[in-house]
Structures are given as structure tokens and as C-alpha cells.
Amino acid sequence: MLIDVVTIFPETVECSLRTGILERGQEDGIIQVRAHDLRDFTDDRHKVTDEPPYGGGPGMLMKPEPFFRAVHHCRRGQHNSRVLLMTPQGRQLNHKICEELAREEHLIILCPRYEGVDERVRQWVVTNEVSIGDYVLSGGEFPAMVVVDAVARLIPGLVGEPESVRGDSFAQAGLEGPQYTRPREFQGLEVPAVLLSGNHQMIARHNCEQSRLRTVQRRPDLLR
């Protein structure tokens, strides 16, 4: 999968690509993530990407033309690209959306700053508006990296053990149950005996019950 991220702060994106599964996925050729500087798609000497909004109001708005040119550039040679606009007004990201996006071959992610972007970008180039929650950050870069990471995990081969992705919260319409590692006893708290029994059937049943219990307690909406 190819993911192009368009931003005025490409270094923010690049530094999160240098660690963990995203770095490994790129080295193994499973995913390629490219960060583009929006300023490279301006046509004036000062590389202006924002202007005051028409009609007045606080702050600056990002201009449409650099985003249009950037999308055109990223699309070259690609078919069926999805163009994602990061915005608190978009559809809230969840596991199902990540699964849909993980099936795509090419994503272009637009990361506005300031007051957001000129409405015509939404109208003409964007295929999906994506929010990461009901709160406002100062820019689309962190939201974009949330999308990149969550989607990348679902691409076969990226996470070493596919079982671990399949057992994750939300992958099975519920939450994962409690898990334990060494030591067997910590601060007077013991690991449940069944997990030490070596009986895989009993362990699987226990994990399943615990997962259901945790989902009922914390997210009963997922079971409906």
C-alpha cells in the first residue's frame, strides 16, 4: 500500500515513520509512506499556503490550490486513490473504517492547520472526511498518523503474528480480556491459575469469558 501525506510539517510525519512496525513495514516493502511539503505546491515566491477567511473571522484558512496540485501530483500513475481529509467534522475513525481503508492500494491524506481548509477542497478532491474524536488538535498530522498506524496494522504481513491483530479489541466486536506476563505474583496479586495450567482449551474458554465480561462492563454498546 502507498500512503501520501500532505502537510506543511512533513518532518512530524517522517519522525513517526522511523520506529516500530511502520519502519519495519517500509523496509519489508509492505507499505510505503511518503510525506510531502505542501509549500512545494505553491506558486509564489513566499510559498504562501494560508490566507484570512472571506467574510472575516479569526485565524487563517489554508488555500485550495496547493492541496489541489499536491493531490494531482500524488495521483500520478495511481488508479482509484482515496483522498482523506483529516477534520474534526469527519466520520469518526473506528475498526470498520480502518479495515475498509486497509483494502485500498493508495491513500492520500491531507493535513490542514490553522482554522482548516477552504471548503472547495472538500467539494472537489476529498473522498473521505475522517475525524479521530470529538476534540480539536492544532493540525492534521497526528490524526493522519493515527490513521496510518491503525490501517497499517491490518495489512497482512505487517504485524509479525496475525493472531495478535485478530485478537485485538474491536477486531471481534468486543474488547480483549486482561492479560498477564511474568512474574506469577506481583504486589500480592496472582496470575489466574488457569493461565498456568497448560490446558489450551480451558485457557481459550477463560480468555473468551474474560473478553465478554470486560466488554459488558466497559462497552456494552459493542455487543448490541
The CB-of-131 to ligand SAM minimum distance in angstroms stands at 4
Answer whether the bond into residue 66 is a cis peptide, omega within 30°: no
Residue 168 is among the residues annotated as catalytic for this protein: yes
Catalytic residue among 39, 88, 214, 219: 88
Q: Is 136 in the site for ligand SAM (CB under 6 A)?
A: yes
Of the two residues 47 and 122, which places its CB atom closer to ligand SAM in the complex?
A: 122
Query: N- to C-terminal Cα distance for the chain?
Result: 33
Instruction: Write the DSSP string, 91-120.
Output: EEP-HHHHHHHHT-SEEEEE--BTT-B-HH
Of the two residues 137 and 196, which places its CB atom closer to ligand SAM in the complex?
A: 137
Distance (Å, whole) CA 14 – CA 5: 10
> Which segment (1-9, 132-140, 178-186, 216-224) binds ligand SAM by CB under 6 A?
132-140
Distance (Å, whole) CA 155 – CA 133: 23
Residue 115 is among the residues annotated as catalytic for this protein: yes
Q: Which of 131, 2, 170 is nearest to 79 (CA)?
A: 2
The CB-of-101 to ligand SAM minimum distance in angstroms stands at 14
Of the two residues 10 and 116, which places its CB atom closer to ligand SAM in the complex?
A: 116
Q: In the complex, which residues of this chain contact ligand SAM (CB under 6 A)? A: 86-89, 111-113, 115-116, 131-133, 135-140, 143
